[in-house]
Amino acid sequence: MYNHIKEIVADSEKTGKPISELIIEQECKMSGQPREKIWNRMKYNLETMREAVKKGRTGNGVYSSTGLTGGEAVKIKKYREKGHTLSGDTIMSAVQNAVATNEVNAAMGVICATPTAGSSGTLPGVLFMLEKRLNLTEEQMIRFLFTAGGFGMVIANNAEIAGATGGCQAEVGSASAMGAAAAVEVAGGTAEQSAQALSIAMSNLLGLVCDPIAGLVEVPCVKRNAIGASNALVAADMALAGCTSVIPADECIDAMKKVGHQMPASLRETGIGGLAGTPTGQAIKAKIFGEDA
């Protein structure tokens, strides 16, 4: 099993195989299951993501039972249609996909945790934009997910992917790094460039706290996925341009772990500090759960 990013990169350079292929082979070996079964399972994940994106942007959108989130993916869709976005349609398309997915999650719909429910919009945000921009085939999209998953596995095994243990940097930050690395491969970049993209993306969101209002995975979670998707694309473009991270990928992962452990409990999914601790955040909590909550 791959324990470090540098091992994946070295193997890719040695064998000439893309990261996605190495991860597929590893999964087959570790699980003892045939390639077709492994592939079809990831295909199901892809289909689940697609359905969530579609549901979140259709009609009036979806809304959570609390009323805190919902309908904004549709607003972004209508805004894009006017053709006057400031950050460009590519970025806003990814943002729309990300928000749509997380709104479905907040509304208790079916999503694919990548790597968590709270960060489930970042990868779909990137992937379904790239599908149109690069005319990706289904095979390429599934390989994107294998690459992202392989890098995510290393992050999870060496740091953490839960906001309760590492802050939102461990959730959206990890998802953004995974998306950046996978975007590089699907765009024709090298394994080393994928590692650089991961480093850049993770570094950009290092220290991001987890401060959900009322302890619910809604605010600011939904919009942070929009930033996660945008950050992934920027990091991928920088890596493809030849930009590099001064700090290697594996050291960035180690740094994220240490930063997460240094965060006070109030900033790790407890709904106490950060935005959750503001007067408005506390008022919303009291309204939903009562004054004594």
Is the predicted pLDDT of residue 86 greater than 70, yes or no? yes
Identify the pLDDT of residue 17: 98
CB atoms within 10 A of CB 87: 10
Give the three-state DSSP class for 156: helix
What is the CA 209 to chain-centroid distance, rounded?
A: 15
**Whole-number average pLDDT of the chain:** 98
Identify the pLDDT of residue 291: 79
DSSP 63: B
Can you tell me the mean pLDDT for 119-138?
A: 98
How far lies 133's CA from each of 90, 94, 143, 224, 265, in Å? 8, 11, 17, 23, 41
Residues 229 and 94: beta-carbon distance below 8 Å: yes
pLDDT tens profile 204-217 = 999 999 999 999 99
Identify the pLDDT of residue 159: 98
CB atoms within 10 A of CB 133: 14
Give the three-state DSSP class for 70: strand
Lookup: tokens for 107: 């509304």
Distance between CA 230 and CA 96 in Å, rounded? 11
Length of the chain: 293
Q: Is the pTM of this model over 0.75?
A: yes
How far lies 103's CA from each of 23, 66, 248, 251, in Å? 30, 12, 34, 33
Q: How far apart are the first and last CA of the chain?
A: 45
Identify the pLDDT of residue 230: 98
pLDDT tens profile 28-68 = 999 999 999 999 999 999 999 999 999 999 999 999 999 99
Lookup: tokens for 51: 């359905």
Distance between CA 131 and CA 142 in Å, rounded? 11
Identify the pLDDT of residue 292: 75
Is the predicted pLDDT of residue 293 greater than 70, yes or no? no
Residues 233 and 136: beta-carbon distance below 8 Å: no
